Amino acid sequence: MSTAVTVSALEFAYPDGRVALNGVDLAVEAGERVAVLGPNGAGKTTLALHLNGIHQSASGTVSIGGLEVVEESLPEIRKRVGLVFQDSNDQLFMPNVGEDVAFGPANLGLRGEELGRRVDHALTAVGGEKLAPRPSHHLSGGERRRAALATVLAMEPEVLVFDEPSSDLDGAGRRELVAALSPLPLTLIVITHDLPLALELCPRSVIMRDGRIVADGPTGDLLGNAGLLAENRLELPFGFTLDR
């Protein structure tokens, strides 16, 4: 099995001096599904933004399928890595969902039948075939999240990075999103506070704290370790039990 994502000794500080990443090492195999867990300020989103070059560090390396994330490689990296932001409105800005989904592939020069195929395939993958003509501001939270996911899938990435996919979703929206994500044949990295979602989608999880990865293992094992969760300000919902 090939390695899809390699992060080595990655460090990053914001202009105000706040250190967000402090020597992160992570390897994700092609087709693997990994949740990145941790309290607010742990560095999770900062790590995600390094995976497609939105942030770049002078210390440490990130590689996608063996290609290092550097300025010269960004066009190819951004074809390989699709990032779904926490706020769906950051990715939905066209008059309707179909045009939103077409936007990225059209910028790559796709036209006609191939562009239509990309849009149809992406919307079908998220169960959103009927969303194409609708303005995004008329969608429910779950529909917006699925539409945002479709805009990324239309680019046919190898790696999908999803930042807080279940935030602000009600139960129905969350179920719709899980149904959309579960069958996708991609390497999946999920940044989340939703521990049951991590258990449902990702066989493996890592826990971040203070810009470092402090635990890495099977999701069920990590979530079953009450001391580890407490130490890292994580907790399962009241009444939730692990089916071990």
3.90.1710.10, 3.40.50.300, 3.40.50.12780, 3.40.50.10490: CATH of 3-231: 3.40.50.300
Copy the structure tokens of residue 241.
Answer: 């039990």
d(CA 146, CA 149): 5
pLDDT at 171: 84
φ and ψ of 34, to 5 deg: -130, 130
Copy the structure tokens of residue 240.
Answer: 């939730």
d(CA 21, CA 213): 9
Segments making up each domain of the chain, as ranges: 3-231
pTM of the model: 0.92
What's CA 167's distance to the chain center, in Å?
13
- pLDDT tens string, the chain, 244 residues long: the values are 689 999 999 999 999 989 999 999 999 999 999 999 999 999 999 999 999 999 988 799 999 999 999 999 999 999 999 999 888 888 899 999 999 999 999 988 889 999 999 999 999 988 888 999 999 889 988 888 889 999 999 999 999 999 988 887 888 888 888 888 888 889 999 999 899 999 999 999 999 999 999 999 999 999 999 999 999 999 988 777 776 5
Comparing CA positions, the residue from 58, 30, 163, 15 lying closest to residue 69 is 58
pLDDT at 173: 82
d(CA 187, CA 2): 11
**What residues have CB less than 8 Å from 69, skipping those under 6 apart?**
50, 51, 52, 53, 56, 61, 62, 63, 77
pLDDT at 243: 67
